[in-house]
């Protein structure tokens, strides 16, 4: 019996989300490493300079739409920790999109970090629950346990929903830190020019 077109489309979207989340996570890690490894950072910063807000907003919107796709179209029931991660992710999509539309950059980043850092920590905790590194105790619903893995494919069983959320949060954190560092560098340069206007 052949799969229905709806199943094939659902699988294609799941694979797209896995690839997008993986690219975001890897990019976020490279950008974060570039903050500490000067030669790498010097090559990366010009590539994304001034685009951090748009990139972070796209990632946050993708994170939100991806989670809605899994629950509403693929019928993956979000567990308690999935909801906590959504509580961190959904406002990011709104805040960052408004920031893109209104052009506000400098005031957003502390709020973004205030949501993305706890969201990433929740993702790490959720992954640890799924891998059995932490006992779930009685905090999870037995009918919908936090330890359940919604994996797309047996070969990529480690790419679970909290794993993809972690990659999204990491990318957003990397963009926020890069934007804040860039603004700090620009302010230092402006202050130097103002002090010595030769």
Cα(108)–Cα(176) distance, integer angstroms: 9
Look up residue 130 and give its two tokens: 């799924």
- The widest CA-to-CA distance across the chain, in whole angstroms, is 78
How far, CA to CA in Å, does 109 sit from each of 32, 76, 123, 181? 16, 32, 20, 11
What mean pLDDT comes out for the span 31-35? 86
pLDDT digits (tens, 9 = 90+) for 136-192: 665 666 677 777 776 665 566 667 888 899 999 999 999 999 888 777 666 666 666
14: CB partners within 8 A, 6+ apart:
70, 74, 152
SS3 144: strand
What mean pLDDT comes out for the span 35-44? 84
Cα(164)–Cα(25) distance, integer angstroms: 8
pLDDT digits (tens, 9 = 90+) for 96-151: 999 999 886 677 889 999 999 999 999 999 988 888 888 766 566 667 777 777 66
Give the domain ranges of the chain: 9-195
pLDDT at site 171:
94
Look up residue 141 and give its DSSP letter. B
pLDDT digits (tens, 9 = 90+) for 59-108: 999 999 999 988 888 888 888 888 999 999 999 999 999 999 988 667 78
pLDDT at site 9:
80
* pLDDT band for position 1 (cuts 50, 70, 90): very low
Look up residue 156 and give its DSSP letter. G
pTM for the whole thing? 0.84
How far, CA to CA in Å, does 105 sit from each of 14, 43, 171? 32, 23, 17
HSE toward the beta carbon, residue 59, CA cutoff 13 A? 29
pLDDT at site 197:
63
pLDDT at site 40:
86
pLDDT at site 36:
85
Q: 53 and 97 in contact (C-beta within 8 Å)? A: no
pLDDT at site 150:
67
* Placement of tokens 């969201």 in the chain: 119
């Amino acid at each position: 019996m052949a799969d229905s077109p709806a199943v094939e489309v659902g699988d294609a979207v799941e694979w797209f989300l896995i690839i997008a989340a993986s690219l975001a996570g890897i990019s976020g890690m490279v950008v974060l490493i570039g903050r500490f490894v000067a030669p790498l950072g010097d090559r990366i910063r010009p590539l994304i300079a001034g685009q951090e807000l748009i990139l972070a907003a796209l990632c946050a919107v993708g994170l939100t739409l991806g989670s809605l796709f899994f629950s509403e179209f693929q019928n993956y029931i979000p567990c308690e920790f999935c909801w906590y991660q959504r509580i961190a992710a959904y406002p990011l999509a709104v805040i960052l999109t408004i920031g893109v539309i209104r052009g506000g950059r400098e005031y957003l980043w502390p709020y973004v970090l205030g949501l993305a850092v706890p969201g990433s920590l929740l993702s790490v905790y959720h992954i640890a629950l799924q891998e059995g590194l932490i006992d779930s105790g009685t905090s999870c619903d037995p009918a919908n346990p936090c330890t359940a893995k919604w994996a797309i494919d047996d070969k990529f069983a480690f790419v679970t929903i909290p794993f993809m959320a972690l990659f999204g949060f990491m990318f957003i954190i990397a963009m926020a830190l890069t934007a804040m560092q860039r603004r700090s560098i620009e302010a230092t340069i402006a202050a130097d020019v103002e002090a010595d206007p030769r």
